[in-house]
Amino acid sequence: MKAFPKLFALLLLFFTLAGTLAQAQDKPKGWSRKAKGAAIGGAGGAVVGGLLGGGKGALIGAGAGLVGGGAIGKSQDKKKDPARYNRYVNNKAKQVPVH
């Protein structure tokens, strides 16, 4: 189980560097802040949970980090990029549920 925290630390580093590289280029926007927050929060929570509680702790930490990171990212999207946030909310409201 010692490889488990190292693997998640490596994945966290990868996502951090990939996000930095994506921001440095002049390409269209990729991930929203909500998605980035959820990914980073989930990976970070899994690492911390794995270190503190083993395999089950990693799952609990990943879930908590996913929800927390997504919530923080959503509030940042709403505050810093309202046009993108409103497009997402309006598209979600237009979808008709299929029964």
Query: pLDDT value at position 26?
Result: 47
Determine the average pLDDT of the residues in 73-90.
Answer: 82
Residue 8 has pLDDT above 90, yes or no: no
Distance from C-alpha of 42 to C-alpha of 15, rounded to nearest angstrom = 11
* Beta carbons of 30 and 58 less than 8 angstroms apart: no
Residue-wise pLDDT tens digits, 35-62: 899 999 999 999 999 999 888 899 999 9
Output the CA–CA distances (angstroms, integers) from residue 17 to 21, 40, 90, in the order listed: 6, 11, 32
Residue type, 38: A
- pTM listed for this prediction: 0.58
What does the radius of gyration of the chain's CA atoms come to, in whole angstroms? 16
